[in-house]
Structures are given as structure tokens and as C-alpha cells.
Structure 1
């Protein structure tokens, strides 16, 4: 479930596309989160911070961030990884609830290198929490990318962070683990092997297709063409709507897509069930310390009927900051 692709386009721009594939609606709205908001780890408060950077994020159930970017051009993307094992939480060490995990990086860092160095230095743990809609405990990994074109994939295996940090790691999907995905890609024509580009919706096939097509995009003449280019790759890796097969009630479909233009600081959101694309120019939002958070309601009748379209920074409604899901005390 889900695909993320970084495009370091020939003229120097950096864009990131992401598909959210899931078997139910995640109640996603967009949030504008200013600097200066105080947050904590959601697992006891041993780690607390004050947001250094403002960000625009896509939420799940208005209780966790699963995609987004900050005003410095650092972006994050949470995707499913069944093999994730986070270990037993040791509250004597720094930890972050899964709900606020990605947000910590957007709040505190401007580059992938800064974020990776912090993980290496602290050995931070991730603490899983049940899905507020079902109680199901997700198993996820995290991608980070920035305006320099740098990239990192962070997976928790056997209770410890395993990090693949390189500008070369431009694609991420789901199972198997990232090292095995790289090995599978080497079997594909153009990446060292002789197998043709595969066409199924499996994670490894989507990985191969995304890697193939993002490397063949033409140089765009302007930012709009750049967004269109990366969206064309994401649509090729998307999963169609379908009726679940017997014994497979949780078959996923692509429910929304995003593009983060890390160079021009623009965040694009497209629902697969609504007629219009919306985007936010981060320069048009007030991220100043003391400003109120903003919420763009994507679930109202107006949004569902296509009333929202184009640049929508003026449609965010003032709100209290997002309240992240926390570990029950």
C-alpha cells in the first residue's frame, strides 16, 4: 500500500509524488501548522519540543500526520511496511508515538542529513498506536526528502532504526524491506537485469515501474509541467478501485495523491473520489510564531461537490493545533 517517488528533474527542481493506498477512508484534511507550537512525544512526555518550522501536512483522522512538507523544503511520507518491528518501548530512552513521528522531523529539521544525524545520535524509538478508527496497529516506515534532492528511508526492524540514506533512494513502496526491494530492482532491465518492466500492483512491481518511469521524464518548461510529470508517474503506480476478492477484505486502492514541490514550496493534493486538484503555496500561509493553525476541510459537502479547486491557501480555517493521538496512560 502506497508509493513515494522523488524526481530530481534536470533543470534542478526537486518534486516528490506520493500515493496513499488504503482499504478505508482515512478522513484526511490538510493542516497548516505554524512555528512555535509546543508538542511532546505522545508516550509520556520525556521528549518535548517547540516547532522551529511551519509545515503543511495531510492528516489521518485529524490525529496523526502521514504526509507533508515544511517551509524549508523537508518533506515526510509514512507508508505501510508489514515487516516493521519496533521492539518493547523503554521509557528511559527517547521515543515518539507513531502519530507524531513524522511531525517531529518537519518541526525540527531543514534537511534529511540533519534528521538522520539526530536519529543516529539519539537511537530514538517509535511506539506504535492503534488506528483510531479500528484499533488496528499499523506497521509503517518513513521516507524523508529535501530541497537539495537528498533522501532517506527509515525502517524499524528488530526494534532499531535501519536507514538507507542517499540521493539514489528515490522510490519507496511497501514489502519487502528496502534492501530486498533494491535487490529485486536489479533484476529488471535497465537496472542490471533482463526482466521486463512488471505490470501488477504488487509493491515490488510498483517499485520497478516508478523507478523506470521517473528516470525517463522530460525536462519540464515550468513548475506546472513538473507537477504534471511526477503525477503521471504516480498514476502509473496507482491502484484502481475494485471489489475485494474472497478472503482478501483489505485490498487497497489509491484514495489520494500528493506532490510536494520542494523547490517552489508548493503542496498539491488530489483525491481519487473528487473532481478537482487543490494546492497550497506555502509562501501564502502564515507560519509565524503566535499564528493560529489552519485546517482545510476536505470532507465537507462543498469539498466533495467540487467547490474546492486550485490554490486554496485562503480557504484554511483558523483552528487550534492538531491534537495528536497519544499512548493511553
Structure 2
């Protein structure tokens, strides 16, 4: 499920593309969240509490799970599936945070990747129950973060421990196997250290190789800003899985259903559904992200004629209800 690629060519905006792959619709909606929102980590004991320092724009799925977004400082977060994610027993000495707010916590409180890495040290991130085809599992995900400097980090929870790869060289991310193993596999391909041709299957390690390889083929100096955005979009579409191509057993091998591009430099957020021809985008400067601002939402799935810059189409609304730690994601297609 999913592919992420970050492009940081000299003199160009820092652009982060991501595909969301899943077996069914997730009720994805676009949200504007101002600063000043008081939040809880939603664990039964010693929950993390905070007040959002930065406003953000992002994609909320399953009614209350933060999956992707960018804040007004230019920090970008992307949550992807990782089947090997495993959680240990709750450590009540650490402040607890539901994984449904994992991405949003960093968007609310951090301006740089370095701040995110530091903030990870004192957190106990707790799963929510994700029901997929009747089977409930502890939501197995990992996260990437990026910032306007081109810095990057990949954050995984393996054997209950947080493992972080931090540095601008970590531009690509998909799913299984864990990131350390992906880096080893990557070296076998032509142009990336080896001699094998670039693979073309839907497997996560093959999408990883394609995204990494084609990032090296983007023009050093695109003629226009539009060309730069289109270049990253072409990478994401190359790494996408066609509609209908779902593995019946592995949800990490599923069709691409939506994608985003986050412009960390210019604070712009692009979004498209794979089954709709229109791309929309939002400039964060067009929203009131101050403490006086209101949460706002836009549902592209029910406004399929929208295209281009859509900040004027968002409507004020009540804040979504986040799934608590160890709670069950109750959203169902059709809700």
C-alpha cells in the first residue's frame, strides 16, 4: 500500500509525491486545521496532550485517521502501510499517542524533520484496530517526513521499537520489507549500484526501485514550476498500481486510489483520485490558519467537477472524531 518519493533538485521546490493504494475507498476528505486546537493522544493512561502550534492541510481517511498532509512551516508527513510493524506492550512511563494522530501530531507541533526525530524519543505510539475483509489487525504503518530544506526521515515501529533513517538521501519509500532491507535490495538494479534491469511488477520492492530509479531521470532544471510538479507526478503515476489490481490476501498490493504532491517550499498541496481526471490543489496562504480560524473540510468525491485551486470551496465544520488507541476503525464504504 503506497509509494512516496521526494525530489530535492538544486534550485527547485522540495516536492513530495505519494500514492495511496488500498482495496476499497477510504472516505478520503481534505481538511484544513488551524493552530490552537487542543488534542489528546487518546490512550487510557498518560496520554500525550498538546495544542497545535502550526496550521495544516491534509487528507483524513476512515472518518478520523490522519494519513497525509503539510503544515504552514512546510513540514510534510505521509503514512504508508508496513506489514512488519509490531507493537510492544504499553509503556505507561511514556506519553501515549494513538497512531490515528501520529502524522497529525508532528504536523501540529514540528517545523523540521529534526524536530520530528527528537519528538519521537519520548512517545509510545499505540495502534488502532483496522478491520480489513473481516479481519482486525493492529494498524501496521510507517511514516515519512520531509521539510523545505530537503531533509527527510523514515520512521518505523519494529519489534516495538522506533527505528529512524534520517537524512536527505532517503527519498523513496514503499511497503514491505522494512526500509533497511529495501535499501539493500535497491543496490542490485542498474543505475542504483547493480546490473539488473528495473523491475515492473506491483510488488513493493519493485515500486521502490522504480521510484528511486526514475527520480534520477528527472530534468535538473525544469523549464517551469508546472513542469517540476508534472515531473514528480509522472514518477508517482509510474509507481502506481492499476485500478482493480488487488491481491486478495495482501492489502499492501492494491490499486492506487488517490495521490498527493506536497510542495514544502511554496506550501501547496495537490490531490487527485485515481478514478477522476481532475487534479485539485490548495495554497496554505489562502486559509486562516490562526487560532481564530475554523476547521474546514472539502469532499472531492462528492464534488467531482472541482479542479484547480479550490481553497474557496472548503466549508467550516466540526472537527472529526479521532479513533482512540486500541479502538476499532468503524468507517465502512458508503458511510
The TM-score, its normalising length taken from structure 2, stands at 0.92
Paired positions, count? 322
Q: Is the 8 A contact 2:74 2:111 kept in 1?
A: yes
Change (3 A) 1:235 1:314: same
Structure 2 CA distance, aligned partners of 1:320 and 1:21? 28
Runs of 4 or more consecutive aligned structure 1 residues displaced over 6 Å after TM superposition: none
Structure 1 CA distance, aligned partners of 2:313 and 2:261? 19
- Once the two structures are TM-superposed, the CA of residue 136 in structure 1 deviates from its matched residue by 4.2
Matching residue of 1:263: 265
Matching residue of 1:320: 318
Matching residue of 1:95: 96
Structure 1 unaligned blocks of 5 or more: none
Q: Is the 8 A contact 1:42 1:100 kept in 2?
A: no
- Once the two structures are TM-superposed, the CA of residue 142 in structure 1 deviates from its matched residue by 0.6
Matching residue of 2:294: 292
Matching residue of 1:60: 61
Structure 2 CA distance, aligned partners of 1:33 and 1:323? 13
Matching residue of 1:39: 39
Secondary structure in structure 1 of the residue aligned to 2:300: coil
Matching residue of 1:11: 11
Structure 2 CA distance, aligned partners of 1:192 and 1:132? 40
- Once the two structures are TM-superposed, the CA of residue 128 in structure 1 deviates from its matched residue by 0.6
Matching residue of 1:177: 178
Structure 1 CA distance, aligned partners of 2:266 and 2:76? 13
Structure 2 CA distance, aligned partners of 1:248 and 1:91? 35
Structure 2 CA distance, aligned partners of 1:162 and 1:179? 10
Secondary structure in structure 1 of the residue aligned to 2:323: coil
Matching residue of 2:130: 131
Matching residue of 1:311: 309
RMSD: 1.7
- Once the two structures are TM-superposed, the CA of residue 170 in structure 1 deviates from its matched residue by 0.1
Secondary structure in structure 2 of the residue aligned to 1:100: helix
- Once the two structures are TM-superposed, the CA of residue 67 in structure 1 deviates from its matched residue by 0.5
Structure 2 CA distance, aligned partners of 1:174 and 1:249? 11
Change (3 A) 1:84 1:209: same
Q: Is the 8 A contact 1:15 1:230 kept in 2?
A: yes
